[in-house]
Structures are given as structure tokens and as C-alpha cells.
Amino acid sequence: MESLMTWLEARLADNSIFTLQTLEYYGEGLTTTVQLVFLSLVIGLILAVPLAIGRGSKHRWISLPIFFYCYVFRGTPLLVQLYLIYYGVVFVEGIQETWLWVVLEKPFVPALIAFTLNTAAYTTEIFRGAIKSTARGEIEAARAYGMSQGLMLRRIVLPSAFRRALPAYGNEVIFMLHASAIASVVTIMDLTGAARFVYARYYAPFDAFLFVAAIYLCLTFAILYLFRYLEKRLLAHLKPASG
């Protein structure tokens, strides 16, 4: 560790922009971005499963509100949703007196809420499509073999739908990573926030933003690799026999 730092310091000695100080900004930005994206994806995913099931319900008072929620969150820009939640929350009567204010006052939680609601809406639609395209014959077989609705959902419909949804969901994850850049407009020091800070201080757009672009590329590569691995494992059943 020690020697690495001296090596890095030596490398950075004749560079006025990428000092240890600015690299630390980028490092913190990376942590914030990863936290924000990871948390919103996980919570969004957990929300999306029941929503996708409800979206396909034949009871209109279940499916209609979910349709409306998805329509609104997919039909408006994420930035507008973020503004509404971040700036709007202040005007909620009495919120400043509650314990909630401690977390809502800072931008991280409002951004997390906006991102979560947004990705949950997209993920709901992805899963709904996958659930709808479950082969009729497989559902019929599940019924004929005495499965209850719940068991059929748990054992047949959802496992097969999740697998089919995987490629589309991989895109959604990449989309969320890149959409998270707008967190910087509500003063969050995420990756893009760090880049903006460095740019503002040194007036060096190419250094600041190309560097951050490279970090996003690396993250995207990691996500692609992860999903390729998952698809290889979980979608093996869709590949015809090799020989």
C-alpha cells in the first residue's frame, strides 16, 4: 500500500489536474454512484415483482393503479421526477418537524426514492411482458398436475419469466447507471458530480469528463460481463443441443 502511494504520487507529480486530492473526489463519487444505483436497483426489483404480478391481474382495481404508476414514471423525464421529489418534499406540511427530515434534507435519499420509483416502473413492465409470454401449455401442465395458483407462480411462471426478462433487465441496469449521472444536479457528489467539480476548478473539460466517461465505461463493462455470465447459466435451456 505504502509503495503504491509513492508510485502514484511520483506519477502524478508533473500533473496539475489528477492530484491525489481530485482522485479522492472521483473515488468518493464512484462509491456514491455505486451505492445509489445498487440500492435503487435492488429496492426497485423487489417492488417490481409484486407490481408485475398485479399488473396482469384481472381485477381492474389492482391492475389499473399499477398501469397508471408505470405510465407516469415511464412517461416523464427522470430529471423532472427527481426535481419534484427533492424540491417538493420541503413543502409537505409538517415534514420538517418529523424524524424523516433528517434524511430527506440531504439529497441522497430523495434521489434514491426517485431512482427507485423510476426503475421499478420500467422493471414492472419488463417482467409483465415476460410473465405474459409464458407458454400456455406450461401453465396448463402446471394446473393439470394439481398446482395451486401460488405454487404455479412460484415454481413455473416466475422462474421462467425472470430468465426471459434477463437480457432486457440487463439493459435497464445499464440505463440506470447512466441515468444516475443526473443526481449531480441536486448537488450529490456522485461520479459526474466529482467530474463537474474538477472541471469547475481547473477549467479542463476533456480531462475531467473523459476520465469520468472511462470510469462509466468500466462499470458498464462489468455489468455486461455479469449479465453475460447470468444468461449463460440461466438461459442454458433455450439453447438447442450442441451435438
Partner 1 sequence: MADTPIPLEVRNIKKRFGDTEVLKGLSLTAQKGDVITLIGASGSGKSTFLRCMNLLEQPDEGELVVHGEQILFKETSKGREPADWKQVVRMRAKLSMVFQGFNLWAHMTLLENVIEAPVHVLGKPKKEAIAHARELLERVGLSARADAYPAQMSGGQQQRGAIARALAMDPEVMLFDEPTSALDPELVGDVLKVMRDLAAEGRTMIVVTHEMAFARDVSSQVIYLHEGRVEEAGAPADVLENPRSERLKQFLAPKH
Q: Of the two residues 1 and 144, which places its CB atom closer to partner 1 in the complex?
A: 144
Site for partner 1 (CB under 8 A): how many residues? 24
Q: Counting contacts by CB under 8 A, is residue 137 touching partner 1? A: yes
Secondary structure, 3-state, the chain: CHHHHHHHHHHHCCCCCCCHHHHHHHHHHHHHHHHHHHHHHHHHHHHHHHHHHHHCCCCHHHHHHHHHHHHHHHHCCHHHHHHHHHHHHHHCCCHHHCCHHHHHCCCHHHHHHHHHHHHHHHHHHHHHHHHHCCCHHHHHHHHHCCCCHHHHHHHHHHHHHHHHHHHHHHHHHHHHHHHHHHHHHHCCCCHHHHHHHHHHHHCCHHHHHHHHHHHHHHHHHHHHHHHHHHHHHHCHHHCCCCC
Q: Counting contacts by CB under 8 A, is residue 130 touching partner 1? A: no
Q: Counting contacts by CB under 8 A, is residue 55 touching partner 1? A: no
Q: Of the two residues 203 and 237, which places its CB atom closer to partner 1 in the complex?
A: 237
Stretch that binds partner 1, among 28-36, 69-77, 154-162, 172-180 (CB under 8 A): 154-162
Q: Counting contacts by CB under 8 A, is residue 102 touching partner 1? A: no
Q: Counting contacts by CB under 8 A, is residue 141 touching partner 1? A: yes
Q: Counting contacts by CB under 8 A, is residue 68 touching partner 1? A: no
Cβ 146 to partner 1 shortest distance, Å: 4
Stretch that binds partner 1, among 14-22, 130-138, 183-191, 214-222 (CB under 8 A): 130-138
Q: Counting contacts by CB under 8 A, is residue 240 touching partner 1? A: yes
Q: Which three cell numbers stand for residue 100?
A: 424523516
Q: Counting contacts by CB under 8 A, is residue 163 touching partner 1? A: yes
Q: Counting contacts by CB under 8 A, is residue 88 touching partner 1? A: no
- Binding site residues, partner 1, CB under 8 A: 135, 137-138, 140-148, 151, 155-156, 159-160, 163, 236-241
